[in-house]
Structure formats: structure tokens, C-alpha cells
Structure 1
Amino acid sequence: MNNVVSSQRLDVIAVGAHPDDVEIAIGGTLARLVTQGYRVGIVDLTDGEPTPNSPGPEVRLAEAERAAEILGVHVRINLELPNRKLFDNYESRVALGKVFRQYRPSIVFGIAEKTPMASPDHWQAMQITDAGVFYSRLTKWDPEFDNLPVHTVKQQIWYPLGFGSMKSTEQPGAFVSDISGCLEQKIEAVKAYQTQFPPGKERVFHLVESQARLLGQTHGVEAGELLVSPKPIMVNDVVEMFGEPGRDTGEEFQQQAAPKP
């Protein structure tokens, strides 16, 4: 990475431990943001290899590029940190902090919590992301970051990873991202990882879809994804945020209440 700020400044960066983490958790949100005109990037900390059905990292990385194309994201970066041996250490924090300083996102998405019975890399990735966001804004440390200018990420948002994440709806700051119209893209992006989800693992696609539909239809939309803000969400118009525009307005009430001639 050079010391020139990228001309391809990104609005959002999503960080995962392995290629396919981001797609499974928030692929629909990223696709929706792209359709809304935002510039979106993905950072995979490792190449995810070795895995049982993959011939090597080149194939996995090609699958990741294909998934990125399906979602329409603008930049995908692999930091080439060691899979299965990923740890929150100084070098990992700086490597990710450099990406944030170069692409200068307003929002960073990162893994929300541990994933019991799954890779411990996920928990390490969460800590690396938290630290990378912090390191990105620290002044008087330019040589450690290739003299890239400091950058303050305006908002960090966590995404639960895994199919037991419904419990995260109880957390303060939890909210559902509407991915209506982008669910099919999300599923196709996950399917791009043929080495990870070969024939016989179709249940994964059904789980991804059913969870998205449950989250969405709970709120009256086609599909959704669960996200968590580290702090309570501020709302300045409760009716606009939670009500149905045009329903039971004051004008309608007055017309209904007016005496008949």
C-alpha cells in the first residue's frame, strides 16, 4: 500500500475474517447500499484457506471476486493475514488501519461477537476491526501508517455472524436493515463460494434466506439483516421512523370528524 490517499474513497467498508463471512451476514445490505448510490468495499482479513473442498487460495479468491461482482461492491481487499492463526495483534491492527486511512469510509461494519463451535478467527476479527477503527484516527503516528493521513470513521456497526444470531435482537442498538429487492443477490453471492457450499450443503442457502425473510417480514418488508449499533440510535422524527406515512393524518381526522351538512 502506498502513501497516497485513494481517489476511490468509499462510503462503507465491511470487514470479515474470511471470504464469505460478509456475504452470509450482510450481503443484502451491501447490495442495497450500492443501488442507493454509495461506494462500498469489503476487506477480508485472511484468504480462508485451507478448507476441505478447496484446491487452494487462488480458487477461493476467485470466488470472492465473483461474489463481489454479484453484490456490485467497488473494492475488495485481502490482507493476507494467516487463516486459523488469526490473532488481534499490533501488525494486524495497523494493516487494517492503513486501509481505513486510504479509503476513508464513513461507516465500518465488523463482526459482532463470538461464534461458538465455529472459527475463533471471527472473534479475533472483531477485535482487530475495533482496533483498526481506533488506530485510523490517532495522530502523531504517521510513520506506522505509511504517512497516510489520519481518518476518523464516523460510525462503527456490528453484524452478527451465524444462524444463532437472533438472540442479538435483544441487544441495545440492534436494528434491522431492509434488503428488499436484494435478497436474491445475497443468495447468489453466497452460492459463488462453490468450494465452501458444494452439493449437499443446500441447507445453508435455505437458512440464509429464511433468516432474512423472518427478520424482514417481522417489520413488514420482504427481507432484512440484523445489525447492531454500539450506542443507542438517535431518532429525530419518531413518526417518520416508525409510523406509516399518510395514515391517520390530522387532515384525514378533521375530514372524518367534520359534521355532515
Structure 2
Amino acid sequence: MKVDILAIGAHPDDIELGCGGTIAKLISEGKNVAVLDLTRGELGTRGTAQSRMQEAEEGGRILGISARENLDLPDGFLENTKEYQLKIVQIIRKYQPEIVLANAIDDRHPDHAKASKLVSDACFLSGLRKIETTFQGNLQEIWRPKYIFNYIQWKEIVPDFVIDISEFMEQKLEACLAYKTQFYDENSKEPMTPIATKDFQESLTYRAQNLGRLSGVAFAEGFTTEKLIALKNFDRILL
């Protein structure tokens, strides 16, 4: 069950939008990535919980992830409770990731910032020996990820670092657009939403392009980090 990276999103499509290019790149480098969606996005104006699940399956297939699960928590009503923390602790201990990717620390949708804090607390609690959880009837080993990185979503948050996704931008866009009910479609009869506009779809490219411009690459995704990152040397820095 162990993976290198566990990417967690409040809603199906958060992962593809926020860090899809990074995930595609990591997988191309031989890393194993699992995805956890906290809700089914059932309150979304467009589509249904069922269509979101089908779209999530396709988005994950395009990225090449190893596994995808959904905790079926209530969309729009995420809270940092003991119950929800323990559900996430169980998943963390199941997959034992070195790195967790989580929602933006501040964002337009209130679930995103709530999920960020919820996941952060769960990662800490997952390392406590006196918290016992089980999986398939067996007591789980404790596990605390080494790093939590928060991807950037609607708001323009200044990243602590960026990942060069220049070779994976098209794959990211394809994974995002697997959510056909959610994004721009000139033939759709469903109500318009902020993320269903043509401008939002185009922003996926120009925002990544702007982070690339600032960092000297074609396209990039940005992340913030709770923990100060130490480099062993400068060999892997793109200048």
C-alpha cells in the first residue's frame, strides 16, 4: 500500500487543477502517487456526485495515479473534527506517504482552507502512538509524512517554491478537462459558474505560464510549505 506521495483534495478536481502537472511529472520519474478526495463535490452547481466520480476516475487515469479514494465527507461542511481527523489518519497510515500535497491555505471556497488545516492536523496525529486505528481488522502502524506541501488554487498566493511542469502542461490540462461537467463548454445548458467560464479555462495555462516566467521555465505549479526546506546542495536548482 505504501506510496511516495499522497495528494489530498477537498473535492474531485482539486488535485488536477492544483497540482496535476506535478503529479504527472513525479509519476514519470517513477514515484507512486495516491489521491484522496474528501468529498464527492455533491453541492457543485453543475453535474452530479456520480458524474464527478466518473470524471475523477478519468482524471486519475490520465495522470497515471496508483489509487484514488473518497472519504464521502459532506461537501461545503468540512470541519476540523476528531471524527474527520481519524478518517484521514487511517488513510495516511494505510499509504504511508513521504509527502502529502494538500489544499491551499487560503482560498475562495471555504472547504479548501478548512481541508488544509484538517489534513495538517491529521498528518501530525498520525504519528502519535497512543492513537490507534485499524484497517481490515488489523492495527495500523503509526506514520507521519516528512513534508506537507499546499498547492495554490483560486487565490494568487505567493509560492514558497515552484515545480517545473513544462513537459507536463498538456497532460495537466487533459486531466482537468476530464471534468466535463465542471468547466467551459459552449454547448452546455447548465448554469454558469466562476470555474465554468472560458477565462477560467484559459487561466490554467496563463497562471502556470506566469509562474514559469518568474522562475525561468515555460510552465510551473506553485506550493507553500509549513516546514522550512533545506537543500543539500545547489545541483537540482534551475537557474
What is the TM-score with the length of structure 2 in the denominator? 0.89
Q: How far apart in 2 are the matches of 1:113 and 1:236? A: 27
Q: In the alignment, what sits opposite 2:162?
A: 176
Q: How far apart in 1 are the matches of 2:238 and 2:179? A: 39
CA 1:143–1:176: 2 relative to 1, 3 Å: closer
| Identity over aligned pairs, percent | 33
State the Cα distance separating 1:53 from its structure 2 match.
Answer: 2.1
SS of the equivalent of 1:41 reads: strand
Tell whether the 8 Å contact from 2:90 to 2:133 is kept in structure 1 after alignment.
Answer: no
Q: In the alignment, what sits opposite 2:57?
A: 65
State the Cα distance separating 1:243 from its structure 2 match.
Answer: 6.7
Instruction: Spell out, residue by residue over 1:221-256, the C-alpha distance to the aligned partner (whole angstroms, 9 max, x if none).
Output: 221000122233212323x24476xxxxxxxxxxxx
Aligned amino acid, residue 233 of structure 2: D
Q: Which of 173, 177, 180 matches 1:194?
A: 180
SS of the equivalent of 1:150 reads: coil
Q: How far apart in 1 are the matches of 2:133 and 2:172? A: 39
Q: In the alignment, what sits opposite 1:111?
A: 103
Deviates more, 1:199-208 or 1:95-104: 199-208
Aligned amino acid, residue 155 of structure 1: Y
Mind listing any 5+ residue stretches in structure 2 that lack a counterpart? 187-196
Q: In the alignment, what sits opposite 1:40?
A: 33
Flag as ranges the 4+ runs of structure 1 deviating above 4 A: 143-146, 241-244
State the Cα distance separating 1:144 from its structure 2 match.
Answer: 6.9
Q: Which of 42, 51, 62 matches 1:49?
A: 42
Tell whether the 8 Å contact from 1:235 to 1:241 is kept in structure 2 after alignment.
Answer: no
Larger radius of gyration: 1
Aligned amino acid, residue 24 of structure 2: A
Q: Which of 69, 73, 76 matches 1:84?
A: 76
Q: In the alignment, what sits opposite 2:116?
A: 126
CA 1:58–1:137: 2 relative to 1, 3 Å: same
Mind listing any 5+ residue stretches in structure 1 that lack a counterpart? 1-5, 245-261
State the Cα distance separating 1:131 from its structure 2 match.
Answer: 1.3
Q: In the alignment, what sits opposite 1:3?
A: none
State the Cα distance separating 1:141 from its structure 2 match.
Answer: 2.2
Instruction: Spell out, residue by residue over 1:74-128, the C-alpha distance to the aligned partner (whole angstroms, 9 max, x if none).
Output: 111110000011111111100011000001000001123221xx32111210111
State the Cα distance separating 1:132 from its structure 2 match.
Answer: 1.2
Aligned pairs for 1:14-29 within 5 A: 14-29=7-22
Tell whether the 8 Å contact from 2:105 to 2:117 is kept in structure 1 after alignment.
Answer: no
Q: How far apart in 2 are the matches of 1:86 and 1:137? A: 23
Q: How far apart in 2 are the matches of 1:237 and 1:141? A: 37
| Root mean square deviation of aligned Cα | 1.7
SS of the equivalent of 1:77 reads: strand
SS of the equivalent of 1:76 reads: strand
Q: In the alignment, what sits opposite 2:194?
A: none
State the Cα distance separating 1:14 from its structure 2 match.
Answer: 0.9
Tell me the matched-pair count: 227
Q: In the alignment, what sits opposite 1:102?
A: 94
Deviates more, 1:216-225 or 1:28-37: 216-225
Q: How far apart in 1 are the matches of 2:237 and 2:93? A: 36
Instruction: Spell out, residue by residue over 1:22-62, the C-alpha distance to the aligned partner (whole angstroms, 9 max, x if none).
Output: 111110000000000000011110000132221x2111100
State the Cα distance separating 1:143 from its structure 2 match.
Answer: 4.6
